[in-house]
Structure 1
Amino acid sequence: MPFINVKLAKGRTAEQKQQFTEAITKAAAQILNVKEEWVTVVFDEYERDNWASGGTLHSIKFEEGFGKMGAE
């Protein structure tokens, strides 16, 4: 039973997460040779002021919308 934990910055819509869940579930089921019902996907979402890299909080390092297509 695959358990997939996805960590990302907050800001994605429920529709985006649903589309991602469908895609990752199909891929995991096919590659791992399991039923789609057996695949579990969990999202851990973080505020940018609770996430840092290189010693700097992402809320300081990156402006609003960073990481979304067309925002870079």
Structure 2
Amino acid sequence: MPVIKVEMFEGRTIEQKRELVEVLSKETARITGCSVESIYVVIDEVKKENWGAGGKLCSDKYPD
């Protein structure tokens, strides 16, 4: 039972998340030889203000 955890900034549409889950599941099944039904994908959306990179908050580095 593979579990794929995706951490990304919030703001993607439900359609984008749906496609991401579908593609990640299909490709993981193809590569590992397990069934698509056995794969779980967890999307954890993070606010830019709660993520730091290079010593700065991402909300400062990547303003909208």
Q: TM-score, normalised by structure 2?
A: 0.96
Q: Return the structure number with greater helix share.
A: 2
Greater RCO, 1 or 2 (C-alpha within 8 Å, sep 6+): 2
Aligned-pair identity (%): 41
1:62 aligned residue:
62
- In structure 2, C-alpha distance between the alignment counterparts of 1:5 and 1:62, rounded to whole Å: 23
- Aligned alpha-carbon RMSD (Å): 0.6
- Taking the TM superposition and a 5 Å limit, the aligned residue runs for 1:11-30 are 11-30=11-30
Secondary structure (helix, strand or coil) at the match of 2:15 reads helix
State yes or no: 1:6 paired with 2:3.
Answer: no
Secondary structure (helix, strand or coil) at the match of 1:22 reads helix
Which amino acid in the other structure matches residue 36 of structure 2?
E
Which amino acid in the other structure matches residue 59 of structure 1?
S
Secondary structure (helix, strand or coil) at the match of 2:24 reads helix
State yes or no: 1:33 paired with 2:23.
Answer: no
- In structure 1, C-alpha distance between the alignment counterparts of 2:40 and 2:61, rounded to whole Å: 33
How far the C-alpha of 1:62 sits from its partner, in A, is 1.0
Gaps of 5+ in 1: 65-72
How far the C-alpha of 1:61 sits from its partner, in A, is 1.1
User: How many residues get paired?
Assistant: 64
